[in-house]
A and B are shown apart, each in its own frame.
Chain A
Amino acid sequence: MRKTTITILAGLVAAAFVAAPASAQQKVRIGFISTFSGPQGVIGEDMKNSVELALDHLKRKVGGLDTEIFYGDDQVKPDVGKQVAEEMLKKNNVDFVSGVIWSNVMLAVAPTVTAAGKFMIGTNAGPNQLAGADCNELFFSTSWQNDQTPEAMGKYMQDAGIQDVYLIAPNYAAGKDMLTGFKRYFKGKIVDEVYTRLGQTDYQAELSQLRSKNPKAVFVFLPGGMGIQFLKQYSQAGLRGQFPLYSVYTVDELSIPAVKHAALGQLETRYWSQDLKNEANQKFVGDYRKKYGGKTPSFYGAQSYDGIMLIDSGVRAVKGNLADKKGMIAAMRKADFKSTRGKFTFNNNQFPIENFYLLKAVAGPTPNSDPVMEIQKTVFTAHKDSYAKDCKMKW
């Protein structure tokens, strides 16, 4: 009797071993981590919509393989993000993890994924550590390194000869990084540098101080809800016409519906815009509007869409052999896919070398429509981040 049991068990184990690789070969599993709850969930929604659109465009087959996608909510917390990533790696057996909005979450998630020997495709956060000393051949970014966007604004304002600039950012790591990036290229006079509380709702006290200093221009980094309240209060205080306002990550397609005309005239720098004239972008923006009731996607969506397309190019190059990591790395380094930003290349740290543009919020096509972001000029062509030199990877 005992012998029979052992035999049956052995048979089951053997069968499991035979069956497992076969089924693993047929499917590519992707985990996508973003924020889907709370006030910041609006960003996660735009990312997920874009991932779904990318899957539609690939006929639900990434790299020609059947595709399973798992979404995970990080709740803007590094520990939760790490836990979600571990679950995806162990329980769902994913080959790729993608997404992640926040730099602090990314610093917890990326090492977890790459240590497990799986790919991490970052589609927003670009902390300097991952671009510099901690770069990894399993980590690719389809967005930017954090400093690049404010660098572009610093460069533009420097070239335009603007003086007496007043700076405002929330008092946390990214806020300081943004102003550091700005000052790397802006060498003119800075009137004052003000750090506000993270999540602050009322800016009236700061606006009174600002007016009393009488600067020539104002540069702010106030993402999410902070930006919405700041813009409203800025225009309500009558400062819109008085001091030109420049910003990064403050006005985008997600916040414009909430501020409407208060955004008019706003200048931002960005690597992408909805009006970028290339085939992939026009298809992305057009089909997004069709699929999601006329909503315009944001850059968060564009880079998440690109993340799926990058994975597709890697899996396609090795003909679906997901065990061939070297082959996939070599293929993805070519950035051989139709990106929504147009043609770009990867730097040695596997962050994009890309253009940055000056965008302006202008009146929409009809009197009742919301303002739209439009490209005014190119600030940087093929801009590299300033941490790649600390990355030891060579290829």
Chain B
Amino acid sequence: MNFVLIAEQTLNGLQLGVMLFLLAAGLTLVFGIMNLVNLAHGALYMVGAYLTTYFYQATGSFVLGVVLGLAGSLLVGVVTELVALRTLYERDHLDHVLATFGLILIFNELIVMIWGRAAIYSSIPDYLSGHVDLAGGLHYPVYRLLIIGVGLLVALLLWLVVARTRLGMLIRAGASNRAMVAALGVDIRLLYTIVFGCGAALAGLAGLLAGPIYSVQPGMGELILIQVFVVIVIGGIGSIRGAFLGALIVGMVDTLGRAFLKPILATVVSPTAAETAGPALASMLIYLLMAAVLAFRPAGLFPARGT
């Protein structure tokens, strides 16, 4: 185990964490502010991946694909909120789960009807497909560095919006006391539509970044959504800071566990036992972490203030 490998795996962990953050931010915003459990968040991620892949191939320009894909997911999010979710806010969480699960099925089948059941082709544009040499002979793909950069930038922008703007103030106020904000004459319905649209766009952004490296296929959102729920439970539901730190923790723990748990175990127990226990434990690690957090800090490690 050398320094370069550890550095490379740390970058891998950071990259996975950032990807999870983009999804977790939208999910936690919607839950924290609108008190809506949105299982269909993964479907919006899928929509982002499909739209971007489609527009990239149709126009031949990755940038144009990204712009149209992002706009498309925002639009799909806003329409979903206006048509389906508005009627649900007054109901309890069980109804949210039922309705948004229905949305998952509808989105998946719509995708099947338009693009078919098979995974579609997606690729990295040539100018992003190279590698960079970082210090110490570390050879890292440009596209993965781009994901890290975009993720950190989005985190910064979100923090600026939430902490420094009027919209952010309303969002924070809405998260703390919905009834009071409405009583002060703020159009809470419009606020909800904006928040949900932004959440959808963030999911779409994660999807469009994931498209070229993952398999773009129906149901792709559900594969990653479970990990995203783990992130927001660990980070504290409704908190952007919690989503960011929770995502980084989950990304690091998962990646480093997969990479180094087996060799570390092999130094403690017999190699055969490590062979069996290593992979099983590595894939359980984030869930064990979640269970521990729930046991000792039920509100999460970085809970939102005022709730």
Which residues of A line the B interface, CB within 8 A? 38-39, 41-42, 45, 171, 193-197, 199, 201-202, 204-206, 208-209, 212, 225, 228-229, 232-233, 236-238, 254-255, 257-260
Contacts A39-B217, A208-B5 given; does A236 touch B119 at CB 8 Å: no
Chosen A-B contacts, 11 in total, with CB atoms closer than 8 Å, are A39-B217, A39-B218, A39-B220, A42-B119, A193-B275, A201-B223, A205-B259, A208-B9, A225-B220, A229-B213, A257-B121
A258 touches B215 (CB 8 A): yes
Q: Which residue of chain A lies nearest to B5 when distances are taken between CB atoms in the complex?
A: A212
Answer whether residue B239 sits at the interface, using C-beta atoms and an 8 A cutoff.
Answer: no
Contacts A201-B215, A204-B12, A204-B15 given; does A196 touch B279 at CB 8 Å: yes
Residues 268-283 of B contacting A (Cβ, < 8 Å): 275, 279-280, 282-283
Answer whether residue B258 sits at the interface, using C-beta atoms and an 8 A cutoff.
Answer: yes
Contacts A171-B279, A258-B215 given; does A238 touch B258 at CB 8 Å: no
B213 touches A232 (CB 8 A): yes
Residues of B within 8 A of A238 (CB): 131, 139, 141
> Dominant SS at the A interface?
helix
B216 touches A209 (CB 8 A): no
Contacts A204-B144, A232-B213, A238-B131 given; does A260 touch B121 at CB 8 Å: yes
Q: How far is the CA of A257 from the CA of B216 in the complex (A)?
A: 12
Output the least CB separation between A365 and chain B (Å). 18
Residues of A within 8 A of B141 (CB): 236-238
Interface flags, B231-267, vs A, CB<8A=1, else 0:
0000000000000000000000001101100000000
A236 touches B124 (CB 8 A): yes
Q: Which of A202, A209, A258 contacts B118 (CB under 8 A)?
A: A258
B224 touches A258 (CB 8 A): no
Residues of A within 8 A of B144 (CB): 204
A258 touches B259 (CB 8 A): no
A229 touches B283 (CB 8 A): no
B9 touches A194 (CB 8 A): no
Interface size class of B (residues with CB under 8 A): 35 or more
Q: Which residue of chain B lies nearest to A194 when distances are taken between CB atoms in the complex?
A: B279
Q: Which of B5, B9, B119 contacts A258 (CB under 8 A)?
A: B119
Q: Which residue of chain B lies nearest to A225 when distances are taken between CB atoms in the complex?
A: B215
Q: Which of A39, A41, A193, A254 is the most central at the interface, judged by chain B CB atoms within 10 Å of its CB? A: A39
Residues 66-125 of B contacting A (Cβ, < 8 Å): 108, 112, 116-124
Q: How far is the CA of A354 from the CA of B143 in the complex (A)?
A: 45
Which residues of B line the A interface, CB within 8 A? 2, 5, 8-9, 12-13, 15-16, 108, 112, 116-124, 129, 131, 139, 141, 143-144, 210, 212-220, 223-224, 255-256, 258-259, 275, 279-280, 282-283
Residues of B within 8 A of A232 (CB): 123, 212-215
Contacts A41-B117, A208-B5, A208-B9 given; does A258 touch B258 at CB 8 Å: no
Residues of B within 8 A of A171 (CB): 279-280, 283
Q: How far is the CA of A116 from the CA of B233 in the complex (A)?
A: 49
The 6 closest A-B pairs by CB, nearest first: A258-B119, A195-B279, A228-B215, A197-B283, A225-B215, A42-B117
Residues of B within 8 A of A255 (CB): 119
Output the least CB separation between B150 and chain A (Å). 16
Q: How far is the CA of A152 from the CA of B64 in the complex (A)?
A: 46
Q: Which of B213, B219, B220 contacts A233 (CB under 8 A)?
A: B213
Q: How far is the CA of A233 from the CA of B214 in the complex (A)?
A: 8
For the A-B complex with A208-B12, A228-B217, A236-B129 known, give 18 more contacts whose Cβ atoms are closer than 8 Å. A41-B112, A41-B117, A42-B217, A45-B118, A171-B283, A201-B214, A204-B15, A205-B12, A208-B9, A209-B259, A225-B119, A232-B123, A238-B141, A254-B118, A257-B121, A258-B118, A258-B120, A260-B121
Contacts A194-B279, A205-B12, A208-B259 given; does A257 touch B118 at CB 8 Å: yes
Q: Which residue of chain A lies nearest to B255 when distances are taken between CB atoms in the complex?
A: A205
Residues of A within 8 A of B12 (CB): 204-205, 208
Q: How far is the CA of A147 from the CA of B221 in the complex (A)?
A: 32
Q: Which of A194, A212, A228 contacts B119 (CB under 8 A)?
A: A228
Q: How far is the CA of A196 from the CA of B261 in the complex (A)?
A: 13
A206 touches B117 (CB 8 A): no
Residues of B within 8 A of A257 (CB): 118-121
Residues of A within 8 A of B256 (CB): 205
Output the least CB separation between B68 and chain A (Å). 21
Output the least CB separation between A367 and chain B (Å). 15
Output the least CB separation between B1 and chain A (Å). 8
Contacts A196-B279, A229-B213, A260-B121 given; does A205 touch B223 at CB 8 Å: no
Contacts A205-B255, A208-B259 given; does A229 touch B214 at CB 8 Å: yes
Q: Which residue of chain A lies nearest to B276 when distances are taken between CB atoms in the complex?
A: A195
Q: Which residue of chain A lies nearest to B283 when distances are taken between CB atoms in the complex?
A: A197
